[in-house]
Amino acid sequence: MELLPSEILATNKFEQSVLSLALINICNQDSHVGQAMKERYNTWKSETDDPINNPWLDLHQFTIYVPHPEQTYEDITLEEGLSLGYNIEVEPIADQDSIPYNIPEGGHFVAVLKQNEVNGKFKIAATGMFIQPLAALSLDIVTDPDEGKYESMVIKHPIIRDYPQNFVQQIDQYLNREIHFKQLPNLVGYVDQTQNPDYRQPSWHEIYLEGQGLKLF
């Protein structure tokens, strides 16, 4: 059964802004999400006695929760939680066969869950991958869960203005393993405070206003 337009992910500015801000937090290794990734990776490696390397070279899953725009919480506002990336979970993936994609090195699995009503349950709304060098999300957005229908969408980092003209072609080449991730441009370096100390991560309000058509960056 096809979903109603309001049930499909990213059909309004609020959800588009949530996804953009999630991408911002995932790209920045100094964010709450970046720090959580390092902690979980180090714990996982210590439990398996494997050597600790760069966590970005091991496959992880990022789970993004898209709340209802009127959802409230006791100890924090919705906007503050989204700004800090508290709606994102990250865990290392030990078995790549457990996910529905064959992701090349440099990419990570992404699952997006959406809340359609206040205090309601979160349901799967999209799956896909995060391509770290390109600072981009490539998502398959569910339109009919019963028939397995979806629409593809690529989400770019809102701060980066100079994506290459062959950006989509580079994604296809990377996913088809025609090029290695180290051959991709390091766009994430502009928006990762570990690589660019001068970078300032924007807040929810800035991203939402940008999504409304106001040019802030």
- Return the pLDDT at 209: 83
Residue 92, helix vs strand vs coil: strand
- Return the pLDDT at 93: 95
> Could you count the other beta carbons within 10 Å of the beta carbon of residue 127?
18
pTM, full prediction? 0.95
- Return the pLDDT at 127: 98
**Ordered DSSP codes for 133-177:** TTTEEEEEEEEETTTTEEEEEEEE-TT-----TTHHHHHHHHHTT
- Return the pLDDT at 35: 96
Task: Report the sign of the C-alpha dihedral through residues 99, 156, 15, 84, in that order.
Answer: positive
d(CA 205, CA 51) in angstroms, rounded, equals: 41
Q: How far apart are the first and last CA of the chain?
A: 40
- Return the pLDDT at 211: 61
Low-confidence ranges of the chain (pLDDT < 70): 211-217
- Return the pLDDT at 6: 85
Torsion of CA 190, 157, 64, 148, to 10 degrees: -140
What stretches of the chain adopt beta strand conformation (E)?
Answer: 60-66, 88-92, 107-115, 122-131, 136-144, 149-156
- Return the pLDDT at 162: 87
pLDDT in tens, 58-67: 999 999 999 9
